[in-house]
Structures are given as structure tokens and as C-alpha cells.
Structure 1
Amino acid sequence: MQEILSNAITLGIGLLPFLVLLMFTLLILWVLHKVLLGKEGLSASEKLPRQLILLLAYVISIVALVISLPIDPSIRNQMLALIGVLLSGVIAFSSTSIVSNLMAGVVMRITKPFRTGDFVRLDGHFGRVTERGLFDTEVQTEQRELIHFTNSYMLAHPLQVVRSSGTIISANLSLGYDLHHSRIEKLLIEAAEKVSLSDPFVQIIELGDFSISYRVSGLLTEVKSMISARSKLMASVLDTLHGDNIEIVSPSFMNQRRLDDLPPLIAKTSEQETAQKASAKQAQEPHPEDIIFDKAEEAESIEKQEHNLLEQIALLETKLKTAHGEDKEKLHHRLVMKQQRLVSVRQHKASED
């Protein structure tokens, strides 16, 4: 009996460091959970690095507990080797794509080739960026669909980004050789000015067998209306050329009919007036971009709000350090309001994710 009691006491003393370390480890992991993931309103991109830190903490805790076990050193080494093999296998199977996408995401965070809300074109797809993650980027297309591109794919392929300061809007058309190019260039520039394009210019891009190909372009400073602006430019070209008694038909048709027998193929005045009224009515209606890129627009707005609130909070915290008395109370109240607003914005952002 005495020997059994002695062995139990010896085992208890041997397990004591392990039990103390176990309690301490559980406490540390609980605190890490509260600190890293207990905050409300975290977006998916903000949660990911915190979850990775927790995963690393779990691995370190398991290794530390195995080392503290009161067992034979050879068995302990075998257990550590088994843990190492399991971790190596998991990393070997998943690291190729995960690490490459993660590193590409980090590179794009540093270089910042685009922001949320920017127009981008990649591998034939065109749309606005709605979300930037560490592993992939979400783009909303002209059909209001959402496409996810892995960051490594975006980094490996040419990416076109529309500058927020403005972009060039163009329209192409072909006209016969019987019309002098100087007259056409003047009318096309007039058409571009009617839709508020800055610095319009005209190019002759091809001398075909039956017609001359023109391109009219201009700078659009409000890039969010890019799709509707392109449509308005084409409509303005039609109205301007028809208003100057210039027909726009296919080259083959224009060369096959007798010009002296048939009237020009131009819409009648009444039809032009109806079309102009329809254009005026359409101008008052919501832009198609409001429907097509709704998520991108909302994501850009939320990101701007979050950025502005962070700047305001940092400024208020700086002022609060040197404030006294009633001014300090006012600044503290404003700081609390801004922090609550930031939590609300982040919660809304997380719900959208």
C-alpha cells in the first residue's frame, strides 16, 4: 500500500509541471481568442491574419505540452516527430496554391495597383473591384455578376486599371470617300463636346476598300459613368451626323445602290425630335452603373468611410492627450461616437462579406 501511495505521489509530482503548463496554455489561448476574434465587425480580410496567429499558437502549445510530458525521452521524440510529419504533410499538400496566393496578396497590398471601386480589365473580363482579400479579389462585371480572381492569377497576367482621374471614351464608325474628312472631323468633335467630353480628338484609323474608318475620342473625368457615357457618345454621333444630312450605312450597301435614285437614309425630322426627347428623358433616369455595379459602389463607399473614421479617431486621440477639463470631456465624447460609428461600419461590411 505504501509503495502504491509512493508511486502515486511520484507520478503526481511528475505531472505537476505538465498540469501547470496545461492550465497556463488554456488561459493564454482563451485570452488570444478574446483579443483577436472577440472584436465585433471584423471583415474576412481582417479575420484571416488573426486566425493564422491563433493556429500558430495552437501548434506551439501542443509542442510545448508534449515536451513537458513526464515520459521516456525516446517516446517524446517519436511524438514530436509524428507531429512534424503531420504538419509537413499538410503544408506540402496545400502550400503551393495557398502560399503563392498569400504572397501575391501581400505584394498587391504593398504595390497597390488598384483600390476598391476601381474599374479593371483582366483576361477579357471587365468590371469594378468590390473586395480585396489576402487570397483572392472579387470583381463585379457589367452583367452584375461577381467573379473571384486568385491573387496569384492577377499578379501573373496583365491587369488594366482605369485611372480615377479620367479615362478616354471612344466611338468608331465608317463613312464613304465622298465625304471630306475635315467636315467629318468637325462634326465628330462637336458630337463629343455635346456629351461633355474634355479635349475631344478624331483619328482616321483605316482607309478601307469602300469607306474611311474614323474614331472620335474624349476624356471622361467622371469614370463611374463610363458605360453610359460611351452609349451617349454614340447617340450624339448619330444625331450630329444626321442633323448635317450625312447618312451612316454599311459600305457594301452604300456602294451598290444608285445615289441619284434613292433619298439619303437619314431619320426624318419628326423621328429625330422623338429621339431627342427620348434621350432627354433617359438623361433624367438613373444611370445603368447604379444597377450594374451596386456592390462595388457600396464597397468603395464603406472603405472610404472606414478610412476617414480611422483618420478622425487618430486625430482625436492625439488631441485628447494634451486636452484638459471640459475640452477633454468633449473630445472624449466625440471619440466614443466615432469609435461606435466605426464598429457599425465594420459590422455592415462584415455582413456584406
Structure 2
Amino acid sequence: MSVEQLIENWLPVIATLVIFALLISLANWLLFTRFKNPGNENVFTRQLLMLLLTLMAIVAVVVTLPISEGTETQILSLIGLVLSGLLAFSSTTIFSNLMAGAMMRFTQPFRTGDFIRVQQHFGRVTERGLFDCEIQTENRELIAIPNSLLIHNAITVIRSSGTIISVSLSLGYDIHHSKIEKLLKQAAEQVGLEDPFVHITELGNFSVTYKISGLLLDVKNVLTTRSNLYCHVLDCLHNNDIEIMSPTFVSQHAGPDVERKIAPSPKRQKTSAQTVAEDIVFDKAEQAEQQEKQKSELVIQLDELKQRLSTADKADKTAIEQQILNLEEQLKQIKQPLEE
């Protein structure tokens, strides 16, 4: 075979290799170099695009090889068989999690920064990936929950517009319920709950069970507010000579001459700076939520500027283009990983 025939036969293969090498290099630069630190949610998507582009390159090279049609069909069949084997032997949970993640992107049951409860897990959402959802718990731990688990179980989401904070306690029959309701509502108002209300949930053999509830508008402080509500309920009842004890203890020490077991409530000192538990516990979730809000605001501003750019005069186009570049640079900085 002459050199001309070799060049003629292998030129399409070489051209295909060069074209796909340039395409893969360009895609790698755009996906991983141009937009650095895309975040955990987008890394897999970009890697999947690179994998698909590589598979397309392999198939294109096989098609352009100077071989017979039968051999070409056998090679393509072998490639398909290998891919089918990999998919068959891999865990089915991978695909169930992938499909569940895609489904949750459409349904949007919760957003980044929301409080959710799934089975025994409770925390704030920090990341929503294609395979799992990461939440930050009350102990500042990060838990990755598979998306298939989220699809097959009920998800409790605390609404961003407000949630109900409740505290239950049992008191004796010797105190009229109207007095208890007034003091419990007072405790809820001191904490800052809106429209507090009291329910009597049980009439036991020795005690009455009360439940004080109120609307909390700032859901980010749900842990601190619930703890403060417990404290203020204790203070309001003890300051009014109402003892919170178990029925057994009360029956043992009951009598007119027995000393009451009520802890005195010291005066609360207001401090200018107060450490809130949520600032420490849900730091990553708070940062993720703020990033989501900033990205949404910047995207809206970019769309408005691009619409103005299409109808702007030549004198205004330069300023608008500079503003667009600044906003795009801010978007790149926001996409940095939360762990950085």
C-alpha cells in the first residue's frame, strides 16, 4: 500500500481525533477552568458531560477507521456490551437516586437553607445534589441523605413564612386553667411569638396537660426560641407561686406546712451582644442560603441589563457592558465551594 493510500485512509481518523481533542480541551477549559470552583452540586453534571463527549469521540473514531463494515459493527457492539455490563453490574440505587434527584429538581419540595425532617434526621439543607441531599443537623454535623430516601418518605419542611413553636407541661388540678393560660400566653409573648394560644391536651389522673403555642416568623432561630420559651414558662409560673412537679412528688410532700419547691427567678440582664445557637450550628446552611439568594438577585439584574443593552444607545452600551462584566465576576465568586 502506497503512502498516498495510507494518508487517504487514515486522514479522516486523524482529523476526527484532532477535532474531538480540541472539543474536549475547550469543554474542559469552559467547565473547569473558566468557571472555577463550581460547587458540589454542579461538579457531577460537568463530569458527566465530559464523559459523554469522550464516548462520542470513541464512537466517531471507530466509525472513521479504515476497516470493513463487519469489523466496525463488531467493535461498536463490543463497546455497547461493555457499557451495558457496567450499567448492569453497578448498583441500581445509583440510578434510583439519580432519577429521584432529577424529579426533585422539578417538584422543588424544599430549597437550600430550609429546615427539613426526614425520618429521624432534622436539620437545614446545605446542598441539593443529583444523588443525595446534604443537611446540617443541630450538632453541626453534615448528613448526606440519598434522594431515593427523600422520595419514598414524607418530608417535613418548616415554612419560611413562619412556624409554630410549642411547649407542653403538666400541672395539678388545684390551679384554675384560666390562670395558667394567662401566664403561658405571657411567656410566649415575652419570647416574641405571634398570636399565642393555649390548648388543654389531656386530663390525667393527677394532672392537666397544657400546650402553649405561638407563631415564630424568624424560622432561622427556631432552636433558640424553643429553648427561650421553656425558660420563660418556668419563670412565669414560678414567679406566680405555681410549682411544676410530677404528680408523685406533689402527693408525697403535699400539705399546708410543707415548703414549696420553687426555684427563684433572677432578674434577666439584657446584653448588647448575644450568641445565638443557630449562628454556630447552621453556619454552612446559612452561607448556602445566602449564596442562593445572591445568585438569584444577580441573575435577575443580568437579565435586566441584557434587555437594556439591546435597546441602548452607543454612549450607554459601554457602561452597561461594564456592569454586566462586574455582575458576571460576582457570580463566579459566589460559586466557590462552601467548605473553602
Shared fold, TM over 0.5:
yes
Aligned CA-pair RMSD: 1.8
Is the CA contact (8 Å cut-off) linking 1:206 and 1:213 kept in structure 2?
yes
Aligned residue number for residue 207 of structure 1: 203
| Aligned counterparts of 2:226 and 2:196: Cα–Cα separation in 1 | 13
| Aligned counterparts of 2:286 and 2:60: Cα–Cα separation in 1 | 48
Matches within 5 A, 1:284-299: 284-299=273-288
After TM superposition, where is structure 1 displaced by more than 4 Å over at least 4 residues in a row?
A: none
How many residues align? The count is: 339
What TM-score, normalized to structure 2?
Answer: 0.94
Matches within 5 A, 1:142-157: 142-157=138-153
Aligned residue number for residue 181 of structure 1: 177
Structure 2 portions without partners, runs of 5+: none
Aligned AA (1:12): I
| Aligned counterparts of 1:13 and 1:256: Cα–Cα separation in 2 | 104
Matches within 5 A, 1:46-125: 46-94=42-90, 96-125=92-121
Shift of 1:345: 1.4
Shift of 1:328: 2.2
Matches within 5 A, 1:331-350: 331-346=320-335, 349-350=336-337
Identity %: 46
Higher helix proportion: 1
Is the CA contact (8 Å cut-off) linking 2:288 and 2:338 kept in structure 1?
no
| Aligned counterparts of 2:79 and 2:224: Cα–Cα separation in 1 | 59
| Aligned counterparts of 1:231 and 1:28: Cα–Cα separation in 2 | 58
Shift of 1:267: 2.4
1:273 maps onto 2:266 in alignment: yes
Shift of 1:151: 0.9
Larger deviation: 32-41 or 117-126?
A: 32-41
Deviations 1:185-210 (A, max 9, x none): 11111111111111111111111121
SS in 2 for 1:113: coil
Aligned AA (1:63): V
Deviations 1:273-325 (A, max 9, x none): 35x33xx34x8411111001111111111111111111111111111111114
Equivalent residue in structure 2 for 1:218, among 214, 217, 233: 214
1:304 maps onto 2:297 in alignment: no
| Aligned counterparts of 1:65 and 1:333: Cα–Cα separation in 2 | 43
Aligned AA (1:82): L
Is the CA contact (8 Å cut-off) linking 2:188 and 2:212 kept in structure 1?
yes
Aligned AA (1:273): P
Equivalent residue in structure 1 for 2:304, among 315, 318, 332: 315
| Aligned counterparts of 1:145 and 1:309: Cα–Cα separation in 2 | 31
Aligned AA (1:352): E
| Aligned counterparts of 2:208 and 2:315: Cα–Cα separation in 1 | 75
| Aligned counterparts of 1:180 and 1:161: Cα–Cα separation in 2 | 37
Shift of 1:336: 1.7
| Aligned counterparts of 2:33 and 2:333: Cα–Cα separation in 1 | 15
Aligned residue number for residue 19 of structure 1: 14
Deviations 1:36-92 (A, max 9, x none): 333223223223223222211211221121122112333322222211111101111
| Aligned counterparts of 2:13 and 2:263: Cα–Cα separation in 1 | 91
| Aligned counterparts of 1:185 and 1:93: Cα–Cα separation in 2 | 63
SS in 1 for 2:200: strand
Aligned AA (2:266): E
Equivalent residue in structure 1 for 2:25, among 30, 49, 57: 30
What TM-score, normalized to structure 1?
Answer: 0.91
Larger deviation: 202-211 or 10-19?
A: 10-19
Is the CA contact (8 Å cut-off) linking 2:162 and 2:217 kept in structure 1?
yes
Aligned residue number for residue 3 of structure 1: none
Structure 1 portions without partners, runs of 5+: 1-5
1:198 maps onto 2:167 in alignment: no
| Aligned counterparts of 1:328 and 1:76: Cα–Cα separation in 2 | 54
Is the CA contact (8 Å cut-off) linking 1:210 and 1:255 kept in structure 2?
no
Aligned residue number for residue 130 of structure 1: 126
